[in-house]
């Protein structure tokens, strides 16, 4: 109704000065009413605009959250892919040093039976050239041996299993023996040397000696490091406890050796030992009264 009245007044205004007084009179009448209606409906308009703005902000917030989730997923996948690339690089390094021909494989299952059988399932089988009694290793060292195989998968008995044993040798020597697991301590192995008078010290490293026809174990694969020795030299039951290079709880990418090396790689596959910093104590005379001396330790990068 207000709109009709306003249009009528506007038409009259166009007809000349005779009706200007009527126009001013209408403005005087409807002006306050218009301002009153504006004060009533303006908050409603702002409320509706606010609702639209809130919905827009909610949509933007949801979009940003989706974007953050997507970026976090990309970062997680990027870290996983980087770890896999590093594992593959280490595996290929070991294969090159030992001249082993390997088939890379993904660990798809870890099986721990009540009989203390520690086994893995890999995603490779006979279609990939895998056979029973082949060596399985990682970029860090010996994992175990293939015990069963199908067209697309195979089962690996881990070295830490109580049924596993491997001919082994002290690195840098000709001292050989047998290293085995007990199924109870997956982060520890035991080694018994054939010669009870052979030297065996903490820190020495162990590699595979190799099986007949290289089945099930090829030579030169790193096994672990001696952490303690039980018994005395000359005692037939002397045992060394070995910390394996391979952590069975973090296996992901491994390799199955389908072709052994032509010659024994000996110790060439072992990682280069990291030098342990030592402290050298230097004694210098002090000019202080009484002839006292000062001691100043200085680090050294030598292995001692």
Dihedral pair phi/psi, residue 213, rounded to 5°: 60, 20
52-110 pLDDT tens trace: 667 677 776 777 777 777 767 666 666 667 888 888 899 999 999 999 999 999 999 88
pLDDT digits (tens, 9 = 90+) for 254-268: 999 999 999 999 999
Task: Report phi then psi at 202, rounded to 5.
Answer: -60, 135
Q: Is residue 69 part of a domain?
A: no
Q: How far apart (Å, rounded) are the C-alpha atoms in residues 245 and 4?
A: 93
Q: Is residue 118 part of a domain?
A: yes
**Within a domain: residue 79?**
no
Where in the sequence is the domain holding 134, given as residue range(s)?
99-259
Tell me if 180 is assigned to some domain.
yes
Domain assignment present for 89 = no
The 3-state DSSP class for residue 223 equals strand
Residue 202 lies in a domain: yes
User: For 21, phi and psi rounded to 5 degrees?
Assistant: -65, -35
Hey, what are 225's tokens?
């490091």
Alpha carbon distance 141, 2 (integer Å)? 91
- pLDDT by residue for the chain (304 residues), tens only, comes to 555 555 555 555 555 544 455 455 555 555 555 565 556 556 666 666 666 667 677 776 777 777 777 767 666 666 667 888 888 899 999 999 999 999 999 999 887 765 557 899 999 999 999 999 999 999 999 999 999 999 999 999 999 998 899 999 999 999 999 999 988 888 899 999 999 899 889 999 999 999 999 999 999 999 999 999 998 888 888 899 999 999 988 899 999 999 999 999 999 999 876 555 555 555 555 555 555 455 555 555 444 4
CA distance 250 to 171: 25
As for how many domains the chain has, the answer is 1
* CATH number of residue 213's parent domain: 2.40.10.340
**Quick one: CA dihedral 196, 198, 203, 207, positive or negative?**
negative
């Amino acid at each position: 109704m207000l709109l009709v009245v306003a249009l009528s007044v506007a038409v009259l205004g166009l007809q000349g000065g005779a009706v200007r007084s009527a126009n001013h009179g209408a403005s005087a009448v409807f002006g306050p009413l218009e301002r009153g209606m504006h004060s009533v409906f303006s908050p409603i308009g702002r409320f509706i605009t606010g609702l639209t703005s809130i919905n827009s902000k909610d949509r933007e917030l949801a979009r940003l959250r989706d974007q953050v989730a997507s970026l976090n997923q990309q970062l997680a996948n990027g870290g996983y892919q980087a770890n896999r690339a590093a594992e593959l690089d280490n595996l290929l390094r070991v294969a090159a040093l030992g001249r082993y021909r390997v088939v890379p494989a993904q660990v798809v299952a870890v099986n721990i039976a009540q009989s203390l059988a520690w086994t893995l399932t890999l995603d490779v089988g006979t279609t990939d050239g895998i056979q029973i009694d082949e060596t399985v290793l990682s970029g860090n060292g010996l994992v175990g041996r293939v015990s069963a195989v199908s067209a697309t998968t195979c089962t690996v008995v881990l070295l830490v299993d109580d049924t596993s044993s491997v001919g082994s040798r002290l690195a840098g020597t000709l001292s050989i023996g047998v290293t085995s697991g007990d199924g109870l301590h997956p982060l520890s192995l035991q080694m018994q040397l054939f010669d009870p008078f052979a030297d065996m010290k903490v820190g020495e490293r162990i590699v595979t000696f190799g099986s007949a026809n290289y089945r099930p174990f090829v030579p030169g694969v790193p096994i672990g490091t001696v952490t303690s020795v039980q018994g005395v030299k000359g005692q037939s039951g002397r045992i060394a406890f070995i910390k394996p290079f391979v952590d069975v709880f973090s296996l992901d990418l491994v390799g199955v050796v389908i072709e052994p090396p032509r010659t024994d790689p000996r110790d060439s596959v072992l990682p280069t030992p990291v030098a342990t910093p030592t402290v050298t104590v230097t004694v210098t005379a002090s000019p202080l009264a009484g002839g006292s001396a000062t001691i100043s330790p200085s680090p050294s990068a030598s292995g001692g």
